[in-house]
C-alpha cells in the first residue's frame, strides 16, 4: 500500500491474559489510536461481513450460519481435519484483515497508532509492518490464573490455548520494548508513560522524514 500515508505504528502483543487490553486502555487514555485486529477479524466474518462472499465461494454456502456469519464451529472442524483448509482460510482473511487494519489506522487523529495483535509473533508478517514491537509480559502461571479468573475456563483449556501460542521466551525475543505485567495493575501506568514519551519522539521523527 505505497499510496498510504505512513503513521508511526506500534504492534502490541502478548500471550492470552498477559494484560494487552489493560495496556491498550492506558495508551488510549493518553490519546493514542488503538486498532483492535481481533475485532476487525470478527467484523469481517460476522453477519454479512466483507470476507463472507469470498469465504463462501471458497468453502461452500453451508459455512454461513442463519445470520450470514461464518459458522466458526464448522470452520474449526474443517481446519482440524483438512490439511489445506487453514492455509486457504488465512489466504483469504489475512490480506483483508491487513487492509482493514491499515484503513482504520488512517482514521485516527492521535500522535501515533497501536495495533493490538494477539498473534503478532505467530503470524510472521506483522513484525515488518510495524515500527516497533511491544510485548506485555508476565509469568505463564500468572497468565493461567488470570484467564481462569476472567473467563471461568478450566485450567486445562487455558493451557491448551497457551500451548498453541509461541512460548514466552520466543515472544520476548521478538520484542523491541517490554512491559512487565507480573505485578500489580498500578505498576503499568509508569511503564506506559515512559514508553509513550519515547513513542511520541519516534512519531515526530517519522513525520519529519515523510
Ligand atoms: P489480554 O488482553 O492480554 O488477554 P487482559 O488485559 O484482559 O489480558 O488481562 C487479563 C485479565 O487479568 C483481566 O481480567 C484483567 O483485568 C486482569 N489483569 C491484568 N493485569 C493484571 C494485574 N497486573 N493484576 C491483576 N489482574 C490483572
pLDDT digits (tens, 9 = 90+) for 91-115: 999 999 999 999 999 999 999 999 9
Pocket lining: 118 vs ligand 1, CB cutoff 6 Å: no
Ligand 1 atom nearest 146 alpha carbon: 12
Cell triple for residue 3? 499510496
Given a contact cutoff of 8 angstroms between Cβ atoms, the answer to whether 179 and 192 are in contact is yes
Given a contact cutoff of 8 angstroms between Cβ atoms, the answer to whether 166 and 159 are in contact is no
* CATH architecture of the domain covering 1-32+112-204: 3-Layer(aba) Sandwich (3.40)
pLDDT value at residue 208: 87
pLDDT value at residue 125: 87
Beta-sheet strand order (sheet of 132-137): 33-36, 113-116, 9-13, 132-137, 177-180
* CATH architecture of the domain covering 36-109: 3-Layer(aba) Sandwich (3.40)
Cell triple for residue 200? 511520541
CA of 149 to the centre of ligand 1 (A): 10
pLDDT value at residue 5: 55
Pocket lining: 191 vs ligand 1, CB cutoff 6 Å: no
Residues in the chain: 210
Given a contact cutoff of 8 angstroms between Cβ atoms, the answer to whether 100 and 40 are in contact is yes
Tens digit of pLDDT for each residue in 5-58?
A: 578 999 999 999 999 999 999 999 999 999 999 999 999 999 999 999 999 999
Which segments of the chain belong to CATH 3.40.50.300? Answer: 1-32+112-204, 36-109
Ligand 1 atom nearest 182 alpha carbon: 23
Ligand 1 atom nearest 187 alpha carbon: 23
Pocket lining: 148 vs ligand 1, CB cutoff 6 Å: no
Amino acid at each position: 500500500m505505497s499510496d498510504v500515508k505512513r503513521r508511526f505504528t506500534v504492534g502490541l502483543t502478548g500471550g492470552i491474559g498477559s494484560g494487552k487490553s489493560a495496556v491498550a486502555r492506558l495508551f488510549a487514555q493518553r490519546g493514542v489510536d488503538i486498532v483492535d485486529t481481533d475485532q476487525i477479524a470478527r467484523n469481517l466474518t460476522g453477519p454479512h461481513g466483507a470476507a463472507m462472499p469470498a469465504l463462501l465461494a471458497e468453502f461452500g454456502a453451508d459455512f454461513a450460519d442463519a445470520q450470514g456469519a461464518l459458522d466458526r464451529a464448522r470452520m474449526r472442524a474443517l481446519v482440524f481435519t483438512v490439511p489445506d483448509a487453514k492455509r486457504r482460510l488465512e489466504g483469504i482473511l489475512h490480506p483483508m484483515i491487513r487492509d482493514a487494519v491499515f484503513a482504520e489506522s488512517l482514521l485516527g487523529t492521535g500522535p501515533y497508532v497501536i495495533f493490538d495483535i494477539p498473534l503478532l509473533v505467530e503470524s510472521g508478517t506483522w513484525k515488518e509492518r510495524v515500527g516497533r514491537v511491544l510485548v506485555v509480559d508476565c509469568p505463564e502461571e500468572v497468565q493461567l490464573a488470570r484467564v481462569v479468573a476472567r473467563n471461568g475456563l478450566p485450567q486445562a483449556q487455558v493451557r491448551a490455548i497457551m500451548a498453541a501460542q509461541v512460548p514466552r521466551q520466543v515472544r520476548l525475543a521478538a520484542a523491541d520494548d517490554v512491559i512487565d505485567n507480573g505485578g500489580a495493575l498500578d505498576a503499568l501506568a509508569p511503564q506506559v508513560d515512559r514508553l509513550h514519551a519515547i513513542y511520541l519522539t519516534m512519531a515526530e521523527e517519522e513525520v519529519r522524514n515523510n
